[in-house]
Structure 1
Amino acid sequence: MLLNMLHSYKTMLFLLIALALGAAVATFLENDFGTAFARSYVYDALWYEALLCLAALHLAWVMYASKMVLHVSRFLFHGAFIFILIGSGLSRYFGVEGVMKIRENTSVNTFFSSDKNREITLPFFVHLKDFEVERYYGSKAPSSYTSDVRIIDGNVSFDAKIYMNHTLSYKGYKFFQTFYDPDEKGTILSLSKDPGVEVTYVGYALLFLGLILNLFDKKSRFRKRIEQLKNSSFILLFLLMSHTPLFSHSEYVQTYLDEHRTKSVEVAADFGKLVVQSRMGRMKPFDTLSQEVLYKLSGKSTLYDMNPTQIALGMLSHPSLWKTLPMIQTKTPKLREFVGVSPTQKLLRFEDFFEGHRYKLEEALHKALALKPSQRGTFENDVIKVDERLSIAFMMYQGVLFKLFPVIGDENHTWVAFEQLIMKEKGEELKEVQEASVRFANALFERNYEKASLHVKTFEAFQEKHGALIMPSKTHVKVEIFYNQMKIFERLTLAYVVVSSLLLLVAFGQVFAPQIVTCKRTKPLFYGVFLLFILHTLGLVLRWYVSSHAPMSDTYESMIYIAWSCLLFCMLFMRHSLFALAGSVLMAGIFMFVAHLGNIDPEITNLVPVLKSFWLSLHVSIITASYGFFALACALGVFTLILFTCKTSERIKMAISNITAINEICLILGLSLLVIGNFLGAIWANESWGRYWGWDPKETWAYISILVYTIILHVRLMGKLYSEYLFAILSVVGFSAILMTYFGVNFYLAGMHSYATGDPLPIPTWVYVCGGVMLGLMILSYKNKQQKEQP
């Protein structure tokens, strides 16, 4: 009986479900009661470790009973999990980790281990010679921090440097740079001694090798599914969009706007090429800064038929007039009524928020900030956001953000704005540019734009003379301005939405009305979608070049990368499948649309020290690529359920079987990438700060997602329980684990990877709407669920 239970696939599903549910519950326990509570009752609890061991034992028996050793790729990646579990056991029960604090010019040979709850003595001393913090130019944001240490072991001593992503190993102990004392005279190092690292890394290597070989193994489920697919076709339409609102104003204001719009183009183009220093120290063309500011203020890329740099120069030179122009974005009619304007007017004037010297939002802002995030409604959130926009607008009127001038001789390469430049003591070096800045502002105010252009050349010469060490090259500036002007991702968003809609019409039309919708040649149509893919790839490459790091370091970048990965799958595997193309373009459009809703900031920023790692780029790129496959699988699941709602016919059955095959291929690829990406993250974590896994909510939900999709892909082994209808439902419902990993953790659970404070935000209405629609579709399609496929 015991052997039968071990061999039973029902046992496998039970164990996987129990592990996933336990981890899911633990993330919410940790959020409400703390990390120690969750570790004590779930993660480190005997019952959870017993489940893991039982799962490994079950896996070993299944591998033996099914003679899996005859299938090399399958045997490798299944057996790898046993190696990894053994390695983790060695690390947990025989390894040690802790924290060491050292002040400059002192030596320490002890560290505190939280796991052992005691001080542990090292067989050698660590002496801190010096600690140094490097910052981004002109800011307080740390770029890197380094501990210059000396290891003293009897008669043996040597010097070494420890910094982020660069460790020190000695006598089995590995030291990692973690943080530093507030006065920057002491360092905080984490260290570990891991006897299971070799076994764990062997497991990782076997896992990666097995998953990759599985994609090329002719006997694998993945290859068999690809061979089952039929050719289809699709139609492509590419559209671009531009939209510029107009407002009516008084005669004087309209005259000014007309003149500024037509005559300031040249000076704005020249000024946009000047380099400016952002608050985080990034050096970029002013064209970029002006675009970021306008987007934050109004949610638009142009306004009043003017480009962002023209508007920025207008705000600087004529602030009293621009304060009367509607350009501050609001989300709620309640806030507009609160300040006394029409509820339908989405863009408000700066002066609408003031009554004399009284700030109308002051009391409402204090109340909103006093509330927990979970208690704030749309009005309170709008108040907070609008207050931020008003602060940015005020800094533009005052010229505070125009940090164009390098401070001569400054070691931190600080740049200052107009007002700070003028206030500095006069000298021969500064005199010319100080006078030019005053004349520049006067020329703009007088609308003498040709004269203003001459002073821009003086600014440019000053930058090249005193700021050349940190300025981007002229080629870099030109490329970044080109990237700004192209607006590739914004334009692709509409293209994806329109194209996917047409593709879906054709796809379903060929199933339900083949006599009307005919499309026999697919290659020209594929080339159309391929053009979208090329444009998207060009946008990613440009952003990579401009930011100097892989474009996947924040929410906006990861979403446009996921959208790209949705298309990548079809480019590689499903070039002739109409439903796959339609689904990939649809999901790409959805991710791009969400990325540009206005709540996500597209600004390019510098990386914090811990993110400067090759392993991070590899880890994030592979994981986010897997999300694209899961998103496509979700879309294909929805298409399948739609077909199930219709009266059964041979054509519909064939379409369902083809879509199911594509769906399964997507999930196999997605799960392979998700597993590889997560374990690459474990390598990065272990090499950067000495631990593979910390049960952080983001990590935990990635682990839950792996379990969820493992269950979905193995349900086919359950015989009569399996059907294409059930598989479609699971592929849709399973995507909720990805949404929780990608979005939910960020806003509902506190952790290292999270933006949340532990207080959940209100669940968006669209979540309930989508859930209701999906539930209705599942109910409607239930009547035809009898179509099955032999696993």
Structure 2
Amino acid sequence: MIKKLYNVFFSLETAVVLSLVFILGQMYATLGFSTMAQAWGYVYETKWFEAIMWLLGINLVGVMLRYKTYKKLPVFILHLSVIIILIGAAVTRYFGYEGTLHLRNGETKNVIMVEKSKSNPSNVYPKKLGFEIRLDKFVLRKYPGSMQPSSYDSYVTVIDKAHNKTFKYHIYMNHILVYRGYRFYQASYDMDAQGSILSVNHDPGMYITYFGYALMAIGFFWSMAYRRSRFMLTVKKLKQSGLFAFLLMMLLGNGYVHANEINNLPKISKQAADLWAHVLVQQSGRIEPMDTLDLDIIHKLTLKSKMYGLSYNQLVAGMVAYPSKYQNLPLIYVGHPKIRKLLGIKGKYAPYSAFFLPNGDFRFSKEIDEAFKTPNKDRNVLQREWIKINDRVYVAFEVYTAKIFKIFPTPKAEKMNYRWFSIADIAQAVKMNLMNPMDAQFYYNMFANLAEAMKNNDLKAMKQIEEKIYALQKNYSGKILPSETKVKWEIIYNRLQIFPKLIGAYTLLGLIAIFLGFFEIIKLKRYKKVETAVVLFGYLALCVHTANMLLRWYVAGHAPWSDAYESIIFIAWGSAFASLVFFRKSMLALGAGLFVAGMFMMVAHLNNISPQITNMVPVLKSYWLLIHVAVITSSYGFLGVGSMLGLLNLILFAMNKKYKLETQIKQLNNIIYISLYIGLALLSIGTFLGGVWANESWGRYWSWDPKETWSLISMIVYALVIHGKMMPKLRGEFIFSLMSFLSFFFILMTYFGVNFYIAQGLHSYGQGVADGYGWINIIFAGMGAWFAILILGLVQNILNKVSKPVKIDNNEYHPDKG
């Protein structure tokens, strides 16, 4: 009886059941509640959730012993790391605590307020530190001309009379104070910027967990090189196969659709528009060339970069120089047919004037007010379009009134955080005594003269005015101006529009490679010259992609994966890199990777994701951004390739009866296994590197934030797919291909679902706005199918064991094999 219980509890089937319950518990916590406090109260702090983690840990120990993983040291270390991470988490859970320390300038305290429960953050109790901390000075820095914080710093003095120690320390985001077992990090500040709120953490389990993270990384990398590991056995099988290949590429044009020229429309010459493009402007705390602002404006209004044969600079310059003419030009994109009907337009674009009554009142105030009053989750498609229309019309209003063109600093610029003014702001600035009337009139005249010079195509006058504006900017705000070289390269970056062009390039290459792969399989013949050409063009596309990312890095001043647009671009790069570097000898694998890259590039350029270069929030100003985000988004590339290959393998299964493709199916599954294993390794390491970063930024390495929770769910999902090879009913070629395809829906939920659907937690700085939530149902359906197939296979495996027990030794994936 005891042996039966032992065999049942310490079995892979029990591990899968516990893992599924663990996954469902986390899904319930992230999707079932509107606040993190509720999630903690009903899930994370409960005894049942705690019991699952204990049972998983005990089960893993027994399975490791039963399957003799200690005979393969790298595999043993990899699995042991999970045990150590769980032990570290338990020490943190039972012996660690968190609190806050609120200090005003000059105030000294030796007591922190400790949270009794995450589910009720207001329930706190005082705890003495054993030493004192004095806030000498709190400093809040903002991006020039904006209210967005650039950094917030606490200059403190630690006074420890018991140990006769006194020292000063500078606490800021990603730079914490560690003293006597406590970690103090910059959490927030008082609204008057005269006080600081420090979060305090005491965590005796941290280094145990860190040790587990390190062992996991060692285990993954060692197992990839260990000759008896499943990974290397799969690599050997692949080397013995004959399915090799290819790839291609051509840089396509943008494919922008141009409307017919509108007769009698006054146009700004390209030369005049180019001079306008070089004027520096302040936008959202960033100093950039007018070229960048113009591109953002036209993209916002039209979803394109040019219309009517005019560049984005010509269009914006025309709106400034000829406002009455351009207000009648259809420039504002209208996505919903009902709104087009109300406007009385035939195409998809409406003129600015169509949104106003003859007396100047806005026509659709009622509809837009109703849309804003409706909670975001309850808004229908029409209401979401009204909100977008409101945004576009307001941007056009700011252009026609010149309110958006903040190009004028004042002699008091440094005292005002280098705030610049537009001519629309000047009157208010004079009233607030921020600018004297003579300077105001001078700026008015200068802008009016610039517009007049554009109308007359007086390039000499424009050049002189541009130089005068730059002289003012340099004199009053020289410390924050970008270099002339950086301005030049930013304009080049804007005008090349490389990323949109790569949509067609990657997609075309992927499709060519996929069709070539199928053609070679059917004809049983390889076309080496075509394959070589495809690979070379693929490398060319990847090099262009890489160069443009580096250029954006230089222009933005930070790594190009700090927001939704940049991270999706990087995922696309990871997919292309994985397919070209690791799978270029497999036509279908290469095509899958490039096609996935093209799809991600397309997603990055949907109209709800802004490609605008922005400033970074303080927490992202860390070298950890380079490491954590780069590793984890690279994993999405490998897992995306595995998913696409799984789908292609399902197509091969459909063709198998006619063409006898068993060998090719097995070979492709070998590639899928390698891709998933590398992806899982990068996902796991990237997630835990994120934990280390969180500990350096927020003072705790794991907080059950939705992003990290779904990353953990994805890790478990892929671990189950890979370990399914050890279970008879889940190791088949068809099931593995299907599960590989469906598993990627969890990655889509981890990225898009958390950023655009859940949109809460510590990672909310990367969130975006989605066009309704119909797309989330597709993700839920994919995840539901994954659960259904896994549970069906699990039940069949259990029934099979009950009726006819399967010996572990008969499993080709047992650690003793190979």
Superposed pair shares fold, TM > 0.5: yes
Distance in 2 (alpha carbons) for counterparts of 1:20 and 1:455: 63
CA root-mean-square deviation: 2.8
Which position in structure 1 is the counterpart of 2:448?
A: 438
Residue 273 (structure 1) aligned with residue 273 (structure 2)? no
The AA in structure 2 aligned to 1:352 is: A
Instruction: Map 1:542-561 onto structure 2 (within 5 A).
Output: 542-561=551-570
- 1:100 match: secondary structure: strand
8 Å Cα contact 1:748-1:761 kept in structure 2: no
8 Å Cα contact 1:623-1:678 kept in structure 2: yes
Distance in 1 (alpha carbons) for counterparts of 2:340 and 2:445: 43
CA deviation map 1:486-533 (0-9, x unaligned): 111100101112222222211111222446x84466334311211111
Which position in structure 1 is the counterpart of 2:26?
A: 23
Residue 135 (structure 1) aligned with residue 147 (structure 2)? no
**Shift in Å at residue 432 of structure 1?**
7.1
Which position in structure 1 is the counterpart of 2:795?
A: none
Which position in structure 2 is the counterpart of 1:413?
A: 418
**Shift in Å at residue 298 of structure 1?**
0.5
The AA in structure 1 aligned to 2:354 is: D
Residue 403 (structure 1) aligned with residue 406 (structure 2)? yes
Residue 360 (structure 1) aligned with residue 363 (structure 2)? yes
Residue 322 (structure 1) aligned to one of 323, 326, 333: 326
CA deviation map 1:108-147 (0-9, x unaligned): 1212111364221221121112111011111111100111
CA deviation map 1:239-258 (0-9, x unaligned): 412345555677532xx23x
Which position in structure 1 is the counterpart of 2:71?
A: 70
**Shift in Å at residue 87 of structure 1?**
1.1
Residue 307 (structure 2) aligned to one of 283, 303, 307: 303
**Shift in Å at residue 37 of structure 1?**
3.5
- 1:367 match: secondary structure: helix
Residue 340 (structure 1) aligned to one of 344, 347, 365: 344
Residue 252 (structure 1) aligned with residue 257 (structure 2)? no
Distance in 1 (alpha carbons) for counterparts of 2:285 and 2:491: 19
8 Å Cα contact 2:85-2:209 kept in structure 1: yes
Residue 130 (structure 2) aligned to one of 123, 126, 151: 123
Instruction: Map 1:369-380 onto structure 2 (within 5 A).
Output: 369-380=372-383
Q: Which moved more, 1:647-656 or 1:740-749?
A: 647-656
**Shift in Å at residue 38 of structure 1?**
2.6
Residue 488 (structure 1) aligned with residue 498 (structure 2)? yes
Distance in 1 (alpha carbons) for counterparts of 2:663 and 2:550: 40
Structure 1 residues 65 and 92, CA, compared in 2 at 3 Å: closer, same or farther? same
**Shift in Å at residue 417 of structure 1?**
2.1
Structure 1 residues 758 and 110, CA, compared in 2 at 3 Å: closer, same or farther? farther
Distance in 1 (alpha carbons) for counterparts of 2:458 and 2:755: 50
Distance in 2 (alpha carbons) for counterparts of 1:289 and 1:761: 24
The AA in structure 1 aligned to 2:115 is: S
Aligned residues: 769
Residue 110 (structure 1) aligned with residue 96 (structure 2)? no
8 Å Cα contact 2:247-2:584 kept in structure 1: no
* Structure 1 residue ranges without an equivalent (≥5): 783-788
Distance in 2 (alpha carbons) for counterparts of 1:756 and 1:462: 36
Distance in 2 (alpha carbons) for counterparts of 1:75 and 1:769: 34
- 1:384 match: secondary structure: helix
Which position in structure 1 is the counterpart of 2:797?
A: none
Instruction: Map 1:292-691 onto structure 2 (within 5 A).
Output: 292-342=296-346, 345-356=347-358, 357-411=360-414, 412-420=417-425, 424-425=435-436, 435-514=445-524, 518-519=527-528, 522-648=531-657, 651-691=660-700
8 Å Cα contact 1:192-1:690 kept in structure 2: yes
Which position in structure 1 is the counterpart of 2:808?
A: none
**Shift in Å at residue 547 of structure 1?**
0.9
Distance in 2 (alpha carbons) for counterparts of 1:647 and 1:242: 39
The AA in structure 2 aligned to 1:62 is: V
Structure 1 residues 581 and 363, CA, compared in 2 at 3 Å: closer, same or farther? same
**Shift in Å at residue 697 of structure 1?**
1.7
Structure 1 residues 770 and 749, CA, compared in 2 at 3 Å: closer, same or farther? closer
- 2:111 match: secondary structure: strand
- 1:407 match: secondary structure: coil
The AA in structure 1 aligned to 2:727 is: M
Which position in structure 2 is the counterpart of 1:45?
A: 46
Which position in structure 2 is the counterpart of 1:786?
A: none
Distance in 1 (alpha carbons) for counterparts of 2:83 and 2:230: 22
CA deviation map 1:404-444 (0-9, x unaligned): 222224221122224556964366x8987665433222222
Residue 166 (structure 2) aligned to one of 153, 157, 170: 157
CA deviation map 1:684-713 (0-9, x unaligned): 111212111111222211111111111111
8 Å Cα contact 1:132-1:145 kept in structure 2: yes
8 Å Cα contact 1:749-1:759 kept in structure 2: no
Structure 1 residues 401 and 440, CA, compared in 2 at 3 Å: closer, same or farther? same
Distance in 2 (alpha carbons) for counterparts of 1:606 and 1:762: 27
- 1:165 match: secondary structure: coil
8 Å Cα contact 1:374-1:760 kept in structure 2: no
Structure 1 residues 72 and 614, CA, compared in 2 at 3 Å: closer, same or farther? same
Which position in structure 2 is the counterpart of 1:145?
A: 152
- 2:683 match: secondary structure: helix
TM-score for both structures, normalised by structure 2? 0.89
Residue 710 (structure 2) aligned to one of 701, 707, 710: 701
TM-score for both structures, normalised by structure 1? 0.92
- 1:63 match: secondary structure: helix
Distance in 2 (alpha carbons) for counterparts of 1:770 and 1:693: 25
Which position in structure 1 is the counterpart of 2:91?
A: 90
Structure 1 residues 641 and 249, CA, compared in 2 at 3 Å: closer, same or farther? closer
Distance in 2 (alpha carbons) for counterparts of 1:477 and 1:773: 46
Distance in 2 (alpha carbons) for counterparts of 1:668 and 1:576: 18
Structure 1 residues 450 and 507, CA, compared in 2 at 3 Å: closer, same or farther? same
Structure 1 residues 238 and 204, CA, compared in 2 at 3 Å: closer, same or farther? same
